[in-house]
Chain A
Amino acid sequence: MDIATILSILDATIRLSTPLLLACLAGLYSERAGIFDIGLEGKMLAAAFAAGAVAAVTGSAWMGLLAGMAVSLGTALLQGVAAITLKGNQLIAGVAINMLAAGMTTFLGQTWFGQGGRTPPLNEGGRFSVITLPFASELSGVPIIGPIYADLISGHYLLVYIGFIMVAVTAYVLYRTRFGLRLRAVGENPKAVDTAGISVVALRYQAVIITGLLCGLAGAYFSIAQGSGFGNNMTAGKGYIALAALIFAKWKPVPAMFTCLLFGFLDALQIRLQSARLGGIEIPVQAIQALPYVLTVILLAGFIGKAVGPKAGGVPYTKER
């Protein structure tokens, strides 16, 4: 395998990791606040559809991104009302969001665009284009560093860079700021937060809002950056993988980044391995496509050890007698 092949797999790794990473960080905020979020998938899917649809109609990627974030935020707030204010079961609220998003996107897509649930293909302005970092072409001649900078680090969509910057931002917010301290506390022992005179409900809504916005970025990435237009069930379970990555990373931002890169790498490898042959027999493409998912399960089951999440996770907060 030459360096160009390796670089291209790693390049694909970064591209494929980005939505996982954004969704994973999104989940981190709400789960750290004590709200289990199985609805990452649904929020991403809704955002992907909204971004694709608005970008197609307006011809502007930025409008698409805004629409994606707005819809995801609305969906997150809906889930928030169910889980926080109405004290419903968080798992069921999340599953409901996923089912709602799966059904609504296809239905609205067919009703509005009549293309079997797809949104129309996007023109140049409706999609984000890749960003070439400064000096990329000048440095490309330099051995080793040159190709790594020019091919691997430079030349990604804006959302990719946002995703990785968000890792540092999240780590800073979580461990260095008052908001982060309270966020971590409310997921562990909301009563301690309440008796310290801080509103548990307000804190949890703030977390849910951040989750919604980040899921919006992740969803938009599918339809208006990586892809060109929305397709049925475009997120293909990535929300669940992001959730798995979050657990694997034990709810910490930097490990979350590495986990998402690992899962992205498995995905990139899978694409590479399609049509690979093993001892003269062609491996069915479905088997290879299933590989990242299978490995996710194995990793989660075997390597993670005991994953102890935020202690108050999944429990609506009530001042009981």
Chain B
Amino acid sequence: MSQNGPMNPQRPETAAAFVPANGWAIELEKINRRFGDVHANKDIDLKIARGTIHGIVGENGAGKSTLMSILYGFYTADSGTIRVNGTPQAITDSRHALKLGIGMVHQHFMLVDNFTVLENIVLGAEDSGLIKPSLDRARKELNRLEQEYDLEVNPDAIIEDISVGQQQRVEILKALYRGAETLILDEPTGVLTPKEADDLFRVLETLRKQGKTVILITHKLREIMAITDSVSIMRQGQMVATLKTAETNPEQIAELMVGRRVLLRVDKKPATPGKTLLEVQNLVVADDMGVTRVKDVSFAVRAGEIVGIAGVSGNGQSELLESISGMRDQKSGHVLVKGEPLSLDGDDGAARARQAGLAHVPEDRQRMGLVTNFAEWENAILGYQDTPAYGAGPFLDIAAAKKAAADHIKLFDVRPANINLKSSLFSGGNQQKIVLAREMEQDPDVLVIGQPTRGVDIGAIEFIHNEIIKMRDEGKAILLVSVELDEIRSLADRILVMFDGVIVGEADPATATEGELGLMMAGINSKAAPRGLGIAEQGPLP
């Protein structure tokens, strides 16, 4: 591995003589694991001090999850030593790991959706053949844990009825109920609202105070800086460095993760807006259940500007996006592209929107942006398969499609550069690049983007942001919806804040503070007169 450039990683071996005050909870030595041709973990060394929060960062596919799955016994290492509390252990399965006091909260929760909280906690840790005594004991124990760690959750609630944040608490409680001393959390905030993430961090701090060890896998540097004591950085299956959080900074970590300098701030010129390309007038949209989610929304996006829509997830942004892009019928109101009203009703609304020059990068690339079972080249033309460029009549010009796919891959640096690879085998960031390339390369006048960098790693985020800015500078109108406030603030030229289906205010990203935006996102508008905007009723967040 070449480690040139200005970085100066502190190699783990140099700290070998040092023993922390509370000793090591976990020590990994020369861990190797291959999946076929992929060397997912190469000679990994890692030591984690007891009673600390230790972050592990790395891009998608760097081997973080594999390493933690080995520690948790979900996979076994091909070679290497694991020491728990100083004693070498061969962790063969999850049950064994649990017995050693290692618990894991997976990125995708391992809960049975139609079970109660209590049943989920007891599953696999039953005391006897009948479950009643276990459930009773768990109820008592839960009560105690709730008080000790401030983890409130209704033991009789059914999992599918409670929020994602609460489901995560159940996972944490599950681990604590099994006597976990070391808790591994895999990308815990990916699915949480900012408020839920704050709650989670408070819980983690309580855990640390009680002497538990926490391993936090993430690719959000903010979280690393905010909560961890030390941080290990992985890249391409190798451990690059382990640093004390207090002695490093986000730029250094990002550089170690990606292997080159990364610009965390977006560089852009001031916008020079031209004529209005996208106009939304009095739009009202309902969701699948018939509940009105977008309530009389109007705004315009001009050529050469990026309008960002901020808001806590679930305040109508998704329905707004789906409606503008022709995927969801509107109850009333109009969408105008280049001054022409767009008819979006019916099942082919999305096709008509595309014909009118409006391209759409959906929020959920796996569900709406790609057919994950298709080869890359098939996805590269999806939605545009009827255009003359890709064939006449009922026939597909496969050569043309493959050529387009190859061009996209080159332009957007999609890896691996293989147009025949199944789309589900690309990492999240590369999948997103496939979708972005497809939509951007059609040269649309209006680009509507939802969550452009959700689940995308740092290097790709930088690339995607630059592409969006480039589109803007070419005079396109861009509507950006994101729950990442940082992203909105760095990309958008104007910010509209959405709350409960209504645009509650507009802000200038150059001057608005995070606090002001946060208040607006909670439905409280300090600047504008709320009466005129129809947000008199300030109920709880939906």
Contact = CB atoms under 8 A, between A and B. Distances in A.
Contacts of A194: 74, 94
B541 interface: no
A39 to B, nearest CB: 26
A184 interface: yes
B264 interface: no
A202 to B, nearest CB: 12
B110 A196 contact: yes
A311 interface: yes
Given A181-B126, A197-B124, A191 B132 contact: no
Among B72, B110, B125, which residue has the most Cβ atoms of chain A within 10 A? Answer: B110
Interface in A184-214: 184-185, 188-189, 191-198
B83 interface: no
B75 A319 contact: yes
B445 interface: no
A193 B111 CA distance: 9
Nearest to B98: A197
Chain B, interface size category, equals: 20 to 34
Contacts of B119: 181
B94 A195 contact: yes
Contact of B131 (A181, A311, A319): A181
B35 A181 contact: no
B115 A195 contact: no
B130 A188 contact: no
Contacts of B110: 189, 191-192, 195-196
B114 A188 contact: yes
B72 to A, nearest CB: 8
A180 B112 CA distance: 14
Interface in A148-196: 176-182, 184-185, 188-189, 191-196
Contacts of B150: none
A188 B122 CA distance: 16
B351 to A, nearest CB: 30
Chain A, interface size category, equals: 20 to 34
B130 A178 contact: yes
A189 B112 CA distance: 6
A189 B124 CA distance: 13
A321 interface: yes
Among A179, A181, A182, A198, which residue has the most Cβ atoms of chain B within 10 A? Answer: A181
B493 to A, nearest CB: 41
Interface string B125-143: 1101111101000000000
Main secondary structure of the interface of B (DSSP, over half): loop
Among B75, B115, B122, which residue has the most Cβ atoms of chain A within 10 A? Answer: B115
Nearest to B65: A321
Contact of A197 (B94, B111, B132): B94
Nearest to A311: B113
A189 B160 CA distance: 13
Interface string B387-426: 0000000000000000000000000000000000000000
B112 A178 contact: no
Given A188-B112, A189-B111, A321-B35, A196 B94 contact: yes
Contacts of A177: 129-131
A182 B74 contact: no
A185 B130 contact: no
Nearest to A308: B114
Nearest to B124: A196
A179 B75 contact: no
B431 to A, nearest CB: 16
A176 B135 CA distance: 10
Interface string A277-321: 000000000000000000000000000000000010000000101
B106 A181 contact: no
B368 interface: no
A28 to B, nearest CB: 16
A283 B44 CA distance: 79
Among A176, A188, A193, A195, which residue has the most Cβ atoms of chain B within 10 A? Answer: A195
A178 B115 contact: no
A182 B131 CA distance: 10
Contacts of A189: 110-113
27 contacts: A176-B131, A176-B132, A177-B130, A177-B131, A178-B131, A181-B119, A182-B124, A184-B115, A185-B112, A185-B123, A189-B113, A192-B110, A192-B111, A192-B120, A195-B72, A195-B74, A195-B104, A195-B110, A196-B94, A196-B95, A197-B95, A197-B96, A197-B98, A197-B124, A198-B123, A311-B113, A319-B75
Interface of B: 35, 66, 72, 74-75, 93-96, 98, 104, 106, 108, 110-115, 119-120, 122-126, 128-132, 134
Interface of A: 176-182, 184-185, 188-189, 191-198, 311, 319, 321
Question: Top 4 closest A-B pairs, CB basis?
Answer: A197-B95, A196-B124, A192-B110, A178-B126
Given A178-B126, A195-B106, 12 more contacts: A176-B131, A177-B129, A178-B129, A181-B123, A181-B131, A182-B124, A188-B113, A189-B111, A192-B112, A197-B96, A197-B124, A319-B74
